[in-house]
Amino acid sequence: NEPRPRTMLALRSSVPRPEASIRERRDASTSSPARRDRAARAPSRHPARRSPRARRADGVVTGVYSGEPVQTSPYGVECEDLYVRYGDPNDPRSTDALQGVSLRVPRGSMFMLLGPNGCGKSTLLRTFAGLVTPWSGRLRVQAPRAFVFQNPDHQVIMPTVGNDVAFSLSCKYPNMSGNEVNARVRAALAAVNLDPDEFMTRQVSTLSGGQKQRVAIAGALVENPRVLILDELTTFLDEADQAGVVRAVRNVVNSDSKVTAVWVTHRLEELQHCDAACYMQDGRVAEMGSGDYIRGYI
């Protein structure tokens, strides 16, 4: 009964064991009921790769994510019982930024989101844009979609207006002909009330804030999106530039293209331009209705 020599133990432990296959490791990790339960509750490390019908342990659908085309739906955006949680979804200390949000935005309409700071409107907008993954609920956004930032300096990066509007086309469609690119750029500028003959070669550094914001919108329109997602576009603009940007978006929505615009705003005077609006509070929809109704509600 003498103890085994340490040299033998060291030798045996140093012999490499054959690595288990991926399938064997996966099966072993969920072999016990407790581990299977934890695996079912745990969020995916790669949310974008989840099945669009992935389900939580309690059976709530967490998929049908934005970006799916909904060409046959009368709605540009629709969500049902949408939850977004920041932090570990299984940690009771984590907070729900969105709590059961449900709404529908008809195609070809201008829809505004309002509410106090921290109410969840920006989180909802970024969820529509695909920048935030919902924890549960259903979400459909007609594809393709385009996001325009609050600050145009984060989006307008080329030295001339024409080059900036054409930038995304040159990246995504390198084989597109020059004539097609030029035609799309001119159409996008005209859609936001910027004369192509005047602005195609204009230096971006000479633009006003409102003109630069309209160039950012044109850069989104050049890809022919079905949904425009707009984050407080007039925050840094004076009254004249603000009116120009609102008119530009209204002009796009009123066109035959049937573009849907979802706009987060904090300016009550902009409600007169929308088709419908939603007031949010504490991560929930507090009230929905026409712009005039929401203005009176607030």
**Per-residue pLDDT at 34:** 52
Residue spans of the domains in the chain: they are 49-141, 145-270
Indicate if 145-270 has the same CATH topology as 49-141: yes
Give yes or no for a contact between 259 and 229, defined as CB atoms under 8 angstroms apart.
Answer: no
Task: Give tens-digit pLDDT for 163-218.
Answer: 999 999 988 898 999 999 999 999 999 999 999 999 999 999 999 999 999 999 99
**Per-residue pLDDT at 6:** 43
Q: CATH class for domain 145-270?
A: alpha beta
Domain 49-141 has CATH 3.40.50.300: yes
Give the whole-angstrom CA distance, residue 103 versus residue 273: 19
**Per-residue pLDDT at 19:** 43
Task: Give tens-digit pLDDT for 218-254.
Answer: 999 999 999 999 999 888 888 888 888 999 999 899 8
In the three-class reduction of DSSP (H, G, I as helix; E, B as strand; rest coil), residue 109 is classed as: coil
pTM of the model: 0.72
Mean pLDDT throughout 4-32? 41
In the sheet with 284-289, reading across from the earlier edge strand, the strands are 145-148, 227-231, 260-264, 110-114, 276-281, 284-289
Give yes or no for a contact between 189 and 195, defined as CB atoms under 8 angstroms apart.
Answer: yes
Task: Give tens-digit pLDDT for 34-52.
Answer: 544 444 444 443 333 333 3
Q: Which of 13-27, 182-196, 269-283 has the lowest mean pLDDT?
A: 13-27
**Per-residue pLDDT at 257:** 79
Q: Where on the phi/psi map is residue 81: left (φ > 0), alpha (ψ -120 to 50), or beta? A: left
